[in-house]
Amino acid sequence: MPDSHLLEFFDSPSDQAFYIEHVNEEFTSVCPKTGHPDFGTITLRYQPEAVCVELKSLKLYYQSFRNEGIFYEAVTNRLRDDLAEAMSPRWLQIVTDWRGRGGIRSRITAEYGEVPSRFTTVHGDATAGT
């Protein structure tokens, strides 16, 4: 069951602005309609205000979706909400890329705060190269 209390944080090592991106290519949840597993890549980008997310805890948080029945669109918004609330970053962006279902592959993007223009350019189609 998704559990944002698994997330841990550490103090940002600098007062100056810097940008962080973590790409998890091993995300899986379950389609609530068919019961079949979904496989995706989750990209988290953010600028820390005071804290940074600790990587191992982020991994465990992602793993907590393993047997959750949840749509692509919902999981993307859920990740955005959980991480934004827990970290209070300057801004945050979640991009989820999903392997094909019936020949269709998908990318969903959700954001919190004002994401700099450098992170709002689409590069290639969804999950190309996955």
**Cβ 79 to its own copies, closest distance in Å?**
11
Q: How many angstroms separate the CA atoms of 30 and 70, rounded?
A: 6
Q: How many angstroms separate the CA atoms of 12 and 49, rounded?
A: 8
Which residue has 């592959």 as its token pair? 105
Q: Known catalytic residue: 11? A: no
Confirm or reject binding of residue 55 to its own copies (CB under 8 A).
yes
**Cβ 46 to its own copies, closest distance in Å?**
11
Contact yes or no for 38/31 (Cβ under 8 A): yes
Confirm or reject binding of residue 119 to its own copies (CB under 8 A).
yes
Catalytically annotated residue among 11, 31, 52, 97? 31
Q: List the one residue from 20, 64, 68, 91 that touches its own copies (CB under 8 A).
A: 20
Catalytically annotated residue among 3, 11, 15, 38? 38
Confirm or reject binding of residue 71 to its own copies (CB under 8 A).
yes
90 vs 99, beta carbon nearer its own copies: 99
**Strand bridging mode 37-47 / 91-101:** antiparallel
Q: How many CB atoms lie within 10 A of CB 53?
A: 21
Give the DSSP letter of residue 119. Answer: G
H or E element in which residue 75 lies: helix 72-87
Q: Known catalytic residue: 82? A: no
Binding site for its own copies (CB under 8 A): 10, 12-14, 16-26, 28, 33, 36-37, 39, 43, 52, 55-56, 58-59, 63, 66-67, 71, 73-74, 76-77, 80, 99-112, 116-129
